[in-house]
Amino acid sequence: MDSEQKKYSIGFRVWIKEENGHYLGRGRITLLEQIKTNGSITKAAKAMQMSYRQAWQMVEDMNKLSNNILVEKILGGKGGGGAKLTKAGEEAIEIFYLLEEKIKNYTEKLSKEINL
Amino acid sequence: MDSEQKKYSIGFRVWIKEENGHYLGRGRITLLEQIKTNGSITKAAKAMQMSYRQAWQMVEDMNKLSNNILVEKILGGKGGGGAKLTKAGEEAIEIFYLLEEKIKNYTEKLSKEINL
């Protein structure tokens, strides 16, 4: 038997749901960040090793479930146009990280309170 | 465009980690509950549609990462013996649900505070 006391911590994942489905989680936030960096859904999809179709579907879903669209598609131009985040898209990233941080702080507090 | 305001809520999953690995999450808690109900790892595994080997490994991992073992194996007897939860095993279930409940309450509070 191990006589040392074990040390525990709390892990979590968090996401935001809308009444009609999954809205924002870590994966979608990463996609928004990649679109912001790359200015293109195609390049963002490539960076995340997913198909363009999958990434495009995620963008469609997010846009549909948000009060204001998060990603604006820029049509035409060389390479078939690009995409960029709207103000609401930038804010969605911030809100998600704020949420994660608050829950992280709370779980750290809980891990001392609860006799794990 | 949809002119109604969307309604958001926060979803989460939580688990307890020990320095040497994953300790307790929803799946392992369900296994503990099934062992408690069935008095047997074999029957618990069957109820959860997992192999005996998988269930047994999960029990071994939990026992190794806890200060006091959670599942006690009862050797011999008809059908190759059974298994039952120790007091620490019963407590682990309670602690996990308490943790989930506290985080649920906190996320409900946050979903009003944060401008989702």
The reply to whether A33 falls in a domain is: yes
What's CA A68's distance to the chain center, in Å?
16
The reply to whether B89 falls in a domain is: yes
Whether A10 and B23 lie within 8 Å, measured CB to CB: no
Question: How much is the pLDDT for B114?
Answer: 80
Whether A103 and B102 lie within 8 Å, measured CB to CB: no
Task: Say yes or no: A74 contacts chain B, CB-CB below 8 A.
Answer: no
CB-nearest to B116 from A8, A16, A110 is A16
DSSP summary character for residue A5 = P
A34-46 confidence digits (pLDDT tens): 999 999 999 999 9
Checking if the pLDDT of A97 tops 60, the result is yes
B3-42 confidence digits (pLDDT tens): 578 899 999 999 999 999 999 999 999 999 999 999 999 9
B39-89 confidence digits (pLDDT tens): 999 999 999 999 999 999 999 999 999 999 999 988 776 656 799 999 999
Checking if the pLDDT of B116 tops 80, the result is no
Q: Which residues of B touch A98 (CB under 8 A)?
A: 114
Domain range spanning residue B87? 20-113
The reply to whether B45 falls in a domain is: yes
Task: Say yes or no: A65 contacts chain B, CB-CB below 8 A.
Answer: yes
Question: How much is the pLDDT for B78?
Answer: 62
Q: How large is the ipTM?
A: 0.88
- Res. B110 pLDDT band, cuts 50 70 90: very high
Please tell me the distance from the alpha carbon of residue A86 to that of residue A5, in angstroms, as a whole number. 50
Domains identified in chain B, total number? 1
Checking if the pLDDT of A115 tops 80, the result is no
Question: How much is the pLDDT for A48?
Answer: 97
The reply to whether A48 falls in a domain is: yes
CATH code, domain with B26: 1.10.10.10
3-class SS of residue B111: helix
The reply to whether A42 falls in a domain is: yes
The reply to whether A47 falls in a domain is: yes
Helix axes A52-65, A26-38, angle to 10 degrees: 110
Whether A16 and B5 lie within 8 Å, measured CB to CB: no
Question: How much is the pLDDT for B108?
Answer: 95
Tokens coding A9: 């911590």
A37-88 confidence digits (pLDDT tens): 999 999 999 999 999 999 999 999 999 999 999 999 887 766 567 999 999 9
* Residue B105, H or E segment: helix B87-113
Please tell me the distance from the alpha carbon of residue A27 to that of residue A71, in angstroms, as a whole number. 15
CA of A89, closest CA in chain B: separation in Å?
Answer: 12
**Where are the extended beta strands (E) located within chain B?**
8-18, 21-24, 71-74, 82-85
The reply to whether A79 falls in a domain is: yes
The reply to whether B33 falls in a domain is: yes
CA of B87, closest CA in chain A: separation in Å?
Answer: 14
